[in-house]
Structure formats: structure tokens, C-alpha cells
Structure 1
Amino acid sequence: MGIFSRLSDIINSNISAILDKAENPEKMIRMMIQEMEETLVEVRSNTAKVIAEKKTVNRRIEQLRRQGADWEAKAELALNKEREDLARAALVEKSAVQRTISMLEDELGKLDDTLDKLSSEIEQLQAKLTDARARQKTLLMRTSAAQSRLDVNQKLHNVSIDSAMNKFEYYERKIDQMEGQVDSLNIKQRGLADEFEELANQEQIDQELESIKAKLNKQ
């Protein structure tokens, strides 16, 4: 496929439609970017050649114009010397030079048209390439995010993690039981202390009661 055919295909292509049909969009867009970059390099190389050719044609035209002016000057000289035959021959040469200049000017016009088209197509190709690179970046970010989510979900449903969580729950229950036993012991100890305190209070009341009785008997 020629460079201009490839360039036209790329410019006219619909990147979104191509990616929708691709089994591996990431791989497809990477290949598209590579082809665009290679085509862009080739088109720019061809553009440089056209510019160089245009400069060559311009130099050739200037050279021929000087030759034409020189033949005209020779014709004037021949007429001044009354050599009309030489003047006619000089003008014939000038006419031939002028025809060549006209041909080269036509060629120059075609080169200008080619450069205009290449410049426009390079801009379009560059826009396509920018779009493709942006989509590639988005695809890579989405792929990375999707992979991260997949990894997290796989870990969440991992048997070893479930087993570890079950062990945590088991240890939590054991700690709850131990804390319950401590609380129970504290309650028992507090109950015993309360009973002794009640006994002490009762003994004090009994002593006060006896003291009052003794006092009343003395009266």
C-alpha cells in the first residue's frame, strides 16, 4: 500500500468504530498509534523532499530567466550590428528557454498544490494521533483500575482471608468469655464483702441496743 493510500485510510478511519470491533482494544490502539507515527514520519520525509524539489525548480527557473535575458541582450547587440539573422537565432533560443520556464512554473504549481495537501493531511493525521494517544491513556487507566478491582475482589473472597477472619471471631469470643469470668468473680467477691459489711453493721447495732437496755435498767 502506498504512503498516500495509507494516509487517506488513517485520516478517514473512525477510531471509535475500530476499537468497538477489536477483541483487544489496548493492543489495537497501540498498533494504530505505531502505524500513525510511522506514516507521519514517512509523510514528513516526503514533504521535505517536495520542499527540496521546489527549491531546485526555483533555482532552475531563476537560472533560465538569466539565460533568457542574456539571449535578449544578444539579440539587441546583433540588431545594433545589423545582424538580423543572429538576432533572430538569439530570440529563438530565448523562446526555447521561455518554454522551459513555463513548464517548470507549471511543475512548481503542482508542487505547491502537493505541499498544501500534505500540510493539511499532516494536520489531520496529527489530530488523529493525538486522539489515539488520549484514548490509549484512558484505556490504560481503565485497565489498571479494573485489574486493581479484580485483585481486591479475589482477595476478599480468598479462602485464607476467610479463615483468618474466622480465627479473629474465635479469639474475640474467647476474650469475651474470659472477660465474663473476670466480671463474675468480681461480682462474687463484691457479694461476699457486702455480707461481711452487713454483719459488722448488725453487730454494731446489737451493741448499741444492749447499751441502751443497760442504761434503762440502771434507772
Structure 2
Amino acid sequence: MSFFSRLKAIFGAKASRALDQAEDPNEMLDYSYERQRDLLTKVRRGVADVATSRKRLELQEAKLQEGVVKLEGQARQALAAGREDLARTALERKAGVQAQLGSIGAQREQLQAEQDKLSAAEQKLETRIEAFRVRKETIKAQYSAAEAQTRIGEAFSGISEDMADVGMAMERAEDKVQTMQARAGAIDELLESGALDDLSTGGDVVDRELAALSSQSAVEEDLARLKGEIGAGSPSAGELGEGAR
């Protein structure tokens, strides 16, 4: 395939896709139905025209028939008056009129046959158009139902996507709640174990060590004081023995 052939095929495919997207089945069906109705109107107009032409021939034929009768009477009168020449002339005219009658009769019969054909075609076309109308309305109803179902499906699809996003958000929220609960539980355990008691005293590590040393020195001083008081005020070991006797 040449480059231009491929390019033509590509443009043709794109144009067909664009037309398919832009085409509304309801509008196309209604348009086709209106075109068929227009055709039926033209056929009916043709039937009316043929019928009018046939009627004109019938009127002309009736007038010529009157002429034949009149010429026949004139020929009789001429013969009665002894004017055979006039009778001959009247009969010659009568023959010409009868020839016209024959031609008009043939045309009238031809028009009648044409009118019958057009009338039959009109009836068939009207039947087909009515059947098309019923089918058109059925297809339009089916298309509308399918279109509604498609919209509902798309709506449900959108809801499903939204629910999926909501579900993911809920999962993330639950994960955060569980993380916070785990952290809170860990702090409770530390508080119960006393590992966080020193935190309430404040200060850094050096301050706490200095406070511990001061406390220990005070304890030693109190202990020495008590020993001194006990040593000064208590009896000797001999006094304790005599007292015991």
C-alpha cells in the first residue's frame, strides 16, 4: 500500500469514527422516516395528477361523443332534405370525431392503468412506511433504554471508584488510630513501670547526680550525729553489768 493510500485509509477511519460519535440514532431514524413520508407525498401527488389528466380526457371524450350524435343528426336532416352531399360531409366529420374518440379512449385507458399502478404503489409504500414507523419507535425505545442503562452503569462505576477511594481513606484512618492507640499503650506501660517517674523531677542527668550526692552526704551526717548522741548519753559496759545484778 502506498503512502497516499495509507493516509487516505487513516483519514477515512478517523472520519468514520467521528461520524459514528456524532450520529444520533433517534435523529437518523426520524430523518429517514420523514424522507419516506416525503416520497409518499410525491407518489400521491403523481396519482392525483394522473387522475386529473384522465378526468380531462373523459370530459373531452364526452364532448366528442356529443359531437358524434350531433353530426349523426345533421346527416339525417340533410338526407331528409335531399342533400346527400351535406349528409356525406356530416358523416365524414363524424368519422374524424370517432377517430379522435378512439385515440382519446386509448389514452384514457393508458392513464387509468398508470393510475392503478401508482395507487397500488402508494398503498404498498404506505404499508412499508407504517411498518418502518413502528420499527423506528421500537428501536428508539430500545436505544433510550440502553442509553439510560449505560448512564446508570457509568454512575455506578463512578460510585464504585468513589467508594474505593473512601475505603482507602478509611483504611488509612484506621491505621493511624491503631498507631496512636499503640503509642498510648506504650506510654501507659512506661508510666506503670516507673520508668518515666524521673521525668517529673525535672533537670538533666548532672542535676540528678548532684542531688543524689547531697542526699547521701546528709544521711551520713545524720548517722554520725546519732552515733555521737548515743555514745555520750549511754552507760559503760561495767555499769550495765552491775545494774544487772
User: Where on the TM-score scale, by shorter chain, does this alignment land: which range?
Assistant: 0.5 to 0.7
How many angstroms apart in 2 are the aligned matches of 1:106 and 1:113?
11
CA contact (8 A) 1:29 1:132 kept: no
Q: Confirm or deny that 1:131 pairs with 2:101.
A: no
| CA-to-aligned-CA distance 1:48-97 (integer Å, 9 cap, x gap) | 11111111111111110111111110100110111111100000000000
The code of the aligned residue for 1:162 comes to M
Q: Which ranges of structure 1 fall in alignment gaps of 5 or more residues?
A: 1-22, 174-219
CA contact (8 A) 1:78 1:86 kept: yes
Instruction: Look up the SS of the partner of 1:82 in the other structure.
Output: coil
Instruction: Look up the SS of the partner of 1:157 in the other structure.
Output: helix
The Cα shift of 1:32 comes to: 2.8
Instruction: Look up the SS of the partner of 2:56 in the other structure.
Output: helix
How many angstroms apart in 2 are the aligned matches of 1:149 and 1:100?
72
Q: 1:132-147 counterparts in 2 under 5 A?
A: 132-147=132-147
How many angstroms apart in 2 are the aligned matches of 1:147 and 1:129?
26
1:122 maps to 122
2:81 maps to 81
1:199 maps to none
- Two-structure CA RMSD over aligned residues (Å): 2.5
Instruction: Look up the SS of the partner of 2:82 in the other structure.
Output: coil
Q: 1:3-152 counterparts in 2 under 5 A?
A: 26=26, 28-152=28-152
Deviation larger for 29-38 or 91-100: 29-38
The code of the aligned residue for 2:110 comes to K
The Cα shift of 1:35 comes to: 2.0
How many angstroms apart in 1 are the aligned matches of 2:157 and 2:114?
63
1:19 maps to none
Instruction: Look up the SS of the partner of 2:112 in the other structure.
Output: helix
Whose RCO is larger (CA < 8 A, sep 6+)? 1
How many angstroms apart in 2 are the aligned matches of 1:111 and 1:66?
22
Q: Which ranges of structure 2 fall in alignment gaps of 5 or more residues?
A: 1-19, 175-245
2:213 maps to none
| CA-to-aligned-CA distance 1:117-155 (integer Å, 9 cap, x gap) | 011101110111011111111111111111111111111
The Cα shift of 1:26 comes to: 4.7
Instruction: Give the % identical residues.
Output: 24
2:215 maps to none
Instruction: Look up the SS of the partner of 1:64 in the other structure.
Output: helix
How many angstroms apart in 1 are the aligned matches of 2:117 and 2:28?
28
How many angstroms apart in 2 are the aligned matches of 1:166 and 1:139?
41
TM-score, normalization by structure 1: 0.62
How many angstroms apart in 1 are the aligned matches of 2:104 and 2:135?
46
| CA-to-aligned-CA distance 1:148-173 (integer Å, 9 cap, x gap) | 11111111111564269749x89xx9
CA contact (8 A) 1:155 1:161 kept: no
The code of the aligned residue for 1:86 comes to L
| CA-to-aligned-CA distance 1:158-192 (integer Å, 9 cap, x gap) | 1564269749x89xx9xxxxxxxxxxxxxxxxxxx
Structure whose alpha-carbon radius of gyration is higher? 2
1:211 maps to none
